[in-house]
Structure 1
């Protein structure tokens, strides 16, 4: 057991505290190279969000130097280094301002103003983002404090994703979509607070030396301020996380209900709309008129799926088309009906083809049986012969007989079958 626990100890790989503090201190500054890298990362992230390219956004995360001042904030609080704390705080605010201004200017002049999925993904932070930021921060400070850094730092930069939410906030400002700005900037604050918190906790656990040893009152005051900030940041994310879980549960139950229960004879479902926010399911059908009694029976089944508070609306496709003034909706329903009709016709043609093939095989079997009574069973199937030079339609036949069929009879059967099927391309296999 002790050998297993020894694997988790960090003492052998621990970097010199002085070198770690110096490394984080150097990463805090935003001037010269660091500042230009920040500006370029902002442009790359904004472009990636604008053209909806995850690869470009990930590239911006990898080169972004925003992690530096955030880890500086956590370490400054952990070792009671007010100089580092002030320096990190100033550079953090400066970097955030540069990021907002640069991304806002980019999106203000960009001809593409649509909110792509890469943008929307950064506008609704939840408790899960808190966990990602905190665990990512733990990995980041542990890697920085270790001699074996490996590829942890790039991975942390991707996981915690500081740059994309900041640029998304710039998009919200440029397009005056305040809900996007608030959601994205809140995600940026979540990442900031919990990466800094992870750095603070890890530095204390690793027993980084205090620069100025605080007295008990000062230490308690700092801890109180930190936890107030953490709780204030945490509470909204818990609410949003709970809201997302409830929406997912509603959508899952609603889809199960529709798939299992919402089937009416002589009708097909043209459109399904599930709205978790208003707890509403709207189903639009095409076909015969659905009776009120059938709709009431369907509504009664909502309880079975714990959807008793759900408002179920049934719309009759053709009457809905007549009442609707929305051309796009009419076109959507018309196309859906057309697609269903084509599908039904194709399936009907396939069934006809299968039925015809079955009838033909049965008839030929009877005719062969009359000529050769020893035949036990017969298989006939159209197929395609393919090789490097040709591709052509052929027939394949398999015939089984109780007694051995001589070569003359085989040849006669094959020639007869060619005439019967009006083809020269046939492969016959014989079994005795």
Structure 2
């Protein structure tokens, strides 16, 4: 067959797909589950609140448990458009306890490709827990999600963040059952205007299994925070039962909750695992999450993004670019750099809190470029040092100490007025600063004080 005839047949196939596509109106989760397995349709669902328990009855849950079918609805079809504006699925978290799934079993799953989803809200209710799964995983290729909103709950324990570990580590003092928001594992996934309100110990948005070309725009991740003083005031419960023993030591070398700090009760707003090609975040915001944008060991393009009230704002690795981003240091450092060839332009918000914070940023690695600015030219009243040639604290925990690390060829422009400490392993760096140099143990560094 010639190339010309092959192209002709492919064109006929595409036209037939368009002609045969159906515009379907539905008003039940049963119908949504049915058309989720089919392809080439436009499905519009009647707005309203739909209870998952009306679809997954006790008999169906029992049968699924026997058959080891742990997903609620799997969108295995391709080339569909799902118009779900005004649709809310009420997810009873007790269903997870009834299904008894293995760890990391996701609940709603998109495995088909070239689908578009618009306007769905999923809201977790009840007191059930999940053994480490996510509400929604996008595993297929070239799927587009617009204005999807998740209200996540259903972890144990909730109210402490990662003070007592993450569940599997040997140092964990309380065994966790996580429940996360939205996981991307599929290539060419695009998310626009998606929001996650996380009231669970788990991530909001996160990426695993090395997908390529994942794009976030106008997305929002929100957790909630709690002071360590409030945690220490408890007279019963899981933290009290372990005598407030943490998995990470504090600055005094003790493994105990320390007063004066603020903890996020969820994990990260936007998180990557491993190396994925061409990951982009544009106009996205993380509020009250543990990490705002935790993109370690991965290159990423981050533009016009914001962090508010996070334990640490941006944690980046090799070849990452931060362009016109901003954030505060109310509850922890704004920036950790632990890689090479990064290019950072970051605005520091002047807002402050009464919580303990030990640094504005830390940096190590080679050939990094960092520009720190102050919002509206305002200087913070509380001085937070910029640490050149230092690691983040263990596990990123604000209560824990920093360590020396090698930084070579750094170009840093400090316009914040914050003081700087240059460690013994800092070499051949060029630093322009409007803040004072509190300490300079480095070698062959060019310092320009303004």
Q: TM-score, normalised by structure 2?
A: 0.20
Q: TM-score, normalised by structure 1?
A: 0.21
Tell which has more relative contact order, 1 or 2 (C-alpha 8 A, sep 6+).
Answer: 1
Give the structure with the larger strand fraction: 2
